[in-house]
Amino acid sequence: MKKPFIGEPCNGCGICCLSQLCRNGAYVLGLVANLGDTVSGRCPALVQGSDGAYRCGIVQNPKKYLKKSKYPAAVLSRNFALLIGAGNGCDELLDNDTPEQEAALDKKIACLQQDTEWLRRAKIAINVIHH
């Protein structure tokens, strides 16, 4: 599958999670000591469905990874999905992406930073997932 353009709906190509581990996933998986730290390599929680599409294993089966959480799986799934940007369209830049793609991502980030409701929900999600 070809990676969608920035902002287009996810098609499950998996390129983002095959190329690098997200910061939230790295922390949840215990691969880094501090939230925000990075680690290279593909995400070990990445799962491929029978349809060939890739999905986040932490979103699909959060209790497998967040065993000590007091929250129900549906709450964990919804909040982790928010933290990784699921449902907001493709946000993975690759080396061969154009300056227009980079500008589109910058615009997308700027919009989220101004969205008070999204910021409120993101703070809640961080507390649910990481505390």
Looking at the chain, the whole-number percentage of residues with pLDDT higher than 70 is 100
Greatest extent of the chain over all pairs of C-alpha atoms, in Å:
43
Give the mean pLDDT of 9-17: 91
Q: In which band, very low, low, confident or very high, does the pLDDT at 44 lie, cut at 50, 70 and 90? A: very high
CA atoms within 13 A on the CB side of 123: 6
Q: What is the pLDDT of residues 97-108, one digit of tens each?
A: 888 888 988 998
pLDDT at 115: 94
pLDDT at 56: 96
pLDDT at 98: 86
Q: How far apart are CA 89 and CA 87, in angstroms?
A: 6
